[in-house]
């Protein structure tokens, strides 16, 4: 009960700017009080100066703009212009009802007496105020989502995409291929020495094995699937071409998803027709346009890099197959 009472007090204290509608004729039994961050609706039935009614409260969280509500039944007394009500939580409010203006006072947390002024109003007036609060919440959520999407695309995707380069891997592939070409030339040179003994054939066969190992190294580097012993040699899979291609593809997929999410959040944001928006059409449109260009450029770089990597492997494979065929045609002429 104490927790609810403190919530009611906080809601009542927040009512600083009040608005309502004007009634005529008999003294009404429905009143509203609305501020920029809360709204109250009070109504009652009267029998022999005794009141039975309810106090409905809605308040806006200052940080999240989420709307919370409470309902407090009450009993009270109306004697001439004097009114007193006791809420179901035990809190008593006293005041006056004079010329269709209802004022209620209650002890504030700081020890002073706080006063709320109500004007005649209906459930519709109260609901309109709550609708306004909920609209503020929707606008904040849409703005937060849009800013988050903009940040993801600008600070993560675009910067990440522009930093990706495969040039160093192409240099590595080229060096590996050159090493295989030199190895094959050495193999041919050694095989041309006469007499070509069985010992020299073993040397040439060993050179062919080296070429096979070099070709497999290019393949594992290309695929990013390093063998178990690579770790023992201090080789990190994250340094491989294949691994970094996969990372770039993952980024590009996220890039596309983030662009789609940004477009969707922008559509929701625009549908709210937010006044005095700090986010301009040009800002979002230029970000989306730039992001789409960067996404396409990254896709192209990935495709070209894969083609070049596969081309280097194909050349290495051709060198090995040619060397293998060459060695298979060799015949030793002696044992020494």
Q: Mind listing the pLDDT tens digit for each residue in 282-298?
A: 999 999 999 999 999 99
Q: Are 115 and 105 in contact (CB under 8 A)?
A: yes
The pLDDT-based confidence of 229 (bands split at 50, 70, 90) is: low
Residues 12-21: tens digit of each pLDDT: 544 433 333 3
User: In the structure encoding, which two tokens stand for residue 261, read together?
Assistant: 């999410």
CA distance 255 to 247: 12
* Domains of the chain with CATH codes: 2-121 (2.40.128.120), 139-328 (no CATH)
Stretch 100-128: mean pLDDT: 92
d(CA 104, CA 82): 10
> Is residue 74 scored above 90 in pLDDT?
yes
Phi, psi of 132 (to 5 degrees): -65, -40
Q: Is 240 helix (H, G, I), strand (E, B) or coil?
A: coil
User: With pLDDT > 90 as the criterion, what percentage of the chain qualifies?
Assistant: 72
For all residues of the chain together, what is the average pLDDT? Answer: 88
How far is the CA of 190 from the CAs of 178, 196, 204, 207, 215, in angstroms?
A: 18, 9, 7, 10, 21
Give pLDDT, residue 21: 35
DSSP state of 224: T
Q: Which of 309, 323, 336, 21 is nearest to 170 (CA)?
A: 309
CA distance 332 to 198: 5
Residue 220 pLDDT: 85
Sign of CA dihedral 291, 293, 294, 296: positive
Question: What pLDDT, on a 0 to 100 scale, did the predictor assign at position 83?
Answer: 96
pLDDT-derived band at 110, boundaries 50, 70, 90: confident
Residue 9 has pLDDT above 70, yes or no: no
Distance CA 73, CA 98 (A): 23
pLDDT-derived band at 226, boundaries 50, 70, 90: low
How confident is the model over 143-173, as pLDDT tens digits? 999 999 999 999 889 999 999 999 999 999 9
């Amino acid at each position: 009960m104490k927790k609810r009472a403190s919530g009611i007090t906080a809601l009542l204290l927040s009512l600083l700017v009040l608005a309502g509608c004007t009634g005529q004729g008999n003294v009404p039994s429905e009143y509203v009080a609305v501020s920029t961050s809360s709204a109250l609706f009070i109504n009652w039935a009267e029998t022999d100066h005794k009141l039975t009614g309810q106090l409905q409260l809605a308040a806006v969280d200052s940080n999240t703009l989420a709307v919370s509500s409470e309902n407090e039944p009450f009993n009270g007394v109306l004697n001439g212009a004097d009114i007193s009500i006791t809420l179901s939580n035990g809190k008593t409010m006293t005041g006056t009802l004079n010329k269709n203006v209802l004022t209620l006072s209650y002890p504030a947390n700081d020890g002073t007496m706080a006063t709320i002024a109500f004007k005649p109003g209906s459930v519709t007036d109260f609901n309109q105020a709550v609708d306004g609060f909920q609209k503020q919440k929707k606008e904040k959520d849409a703005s937060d989502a849009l800013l988050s999407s903009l940040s993801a695309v600008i600070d993560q995707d675009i910067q990440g995409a522009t930093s990706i380069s495969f040039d160093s891997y192409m240099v590595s592939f080229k060096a590996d291929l050159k090493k295989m070409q030199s190895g094959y030339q050495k193999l041919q040179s050694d095989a041309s020495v006469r007499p070509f003994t069985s010992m020299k054939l073993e040397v040439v066969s060993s050179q062919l094995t080296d070429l096979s190992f070099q070709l497999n190294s290019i393949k594992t580097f290309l695929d990013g699937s390093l063998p178990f012993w690579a770790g023992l040699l201090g080789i990190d899979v994250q340094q491989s071409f294949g691994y970094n291609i996969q990372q770039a593809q993952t980024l590009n997929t996220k890039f596309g998803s983030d662009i789609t999410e940004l477009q969707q959040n922008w559509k929701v944001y625009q549908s709210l027709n937010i006044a005095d928006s700090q986010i301009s059409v040009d800002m979002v449109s230029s970000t989306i346009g730039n992001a789409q260009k960067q996404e396409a450029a990254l896709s192209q770089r990935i495709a070209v890099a894969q083609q070049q990597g596969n081309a280097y492997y194909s050349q290495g494979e051709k060198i090995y197959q040619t060397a293998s065929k060459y060695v298979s045609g060799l015949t030793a002429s002696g044992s020494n």
